[in-house]
Amino acid sequence: MEQLADGLWQLSGFPKHGINEYLIGDVLVDAGAKLDRRHILKDLKGHEVNAHALTHAHVDHQGASKAVCETLGVPFWVGTNDADAAEDPRLILQRQPRHPINNVFYRLMAGPGHPVDRKLVEGDEVGGFTVLDVPGHSAGHVAFWRESDRALVLGDVLNSMHVFTAIRGLREPPTFFTPDSVRNRESARRLGQLEPKLVCFGHGPPERDTKKFVEFCAGLPV
């Protein structure tokens, strides 16, 4: 794992930055696709993990959730409006725009659902970070914000790499993965106003250029 800040690590993954998972304090954030189980559990060896949380319940973030929770014996925490889909991944597929790629991703990446022990809401504390409600890419999408050093884990509200070509650069997530792009932009603009010094994405490398991030968010179409 790579330490990005005090109490914040990025797990290894392959290819690097393709699908990201993080350890914030003692909480694993996101769990990749179902085949990511091995690398996640390997990376976490030697680290204290007391819970597993999702930024959102899309199949490339919940794939190994059941395996991780059961292997480590930890509770599962998910945003309120994605909790049902984390328990039954078919619901996420139903809620995404109709597109063949979503069907392919579901078959390749979706792991079995797992009972949610805690439904996250705005203001909750998770691993030393504060939960922010940032819907759009999914109904129950949340981000994790730490005011003390202005570190942000924002899931797929934005990407810092094209999810198919791996070309780097800030961008909105693809519309065929995002049920409500207008609301997702509202969430992104909100996060930009925080002026984070470190931004960690679900897809792509971390961003430490605050001005670049703030200007990108502010410039999103209404």
Query: What average pLDDT score do residues 109-115 get?
Result: 97
Give per-residue pLDDT as tens, 165-207.
889 999 999 999 999 999 999 999 999 999 999 999 999 999 9
**Helix%, strand%, coil% for the chain, nearest 5:** 30, 25, 45
Domains of the chain in sequence order? 2-218 (3.60.15.10)
For the chain, give the percent of residues with pLDDT over 90.
Answer: 96
Q: Which of 149, 159, 167, 147 is nearest to 188 (CA)?
A: 159
Give per-residue pLDDT as tens, 19-40.
999 999 999 999 999 999 999 9
Q: Does pLDDT of 9 surpass 90?
A: yes
Enumerate helices (H) and strands (E) in the chain, giving the number of each: 8, 14
Q: Does pLDDT of 216 surpass 90?
A: yes
pLDDT of residue 163: 87
Average pLDDT, the chain: 97
Strand extents, DSSP E, the chain: 2-5, 8-10, 22-24, 27-29, 51-53, 76-79, 118-120, 125-126, 129-133, 142-146, 151-155, 159-161, 168-171, 198-201
pLDDT of residue 222: 86
pLDDT of residue 120: 98
Assigned token pair, 124 = 């909750």
Confidence band, pLDDT 50/70/90 cuts, at residue 97: very high
Q: Does pLDDT of 13 surpass 90?
A: no
Q: Is 38 helix (H, G, I), strand (E, B) or coil?
A: helix
Q: Which segment of 11-15, 60-64, 109-113, 114-118 scores lowest on mean pLDDT?
A: 11-15
Q: Does pLDDT of 107 surpass 90?
A: yes
Give per-residue pLDDT as tens, 58-86.
999 999 999 999 999 999 999 999 999 99
pLDDT of residue 173: 97
Q: Can you list the alpha helix ranges (DSSP code H) found in 45-198?
A: 59-62, 65-72, 83-87, 90-95, 100-109, 181-192
Q: Is the pTM of this model over 0.75?
A: yes
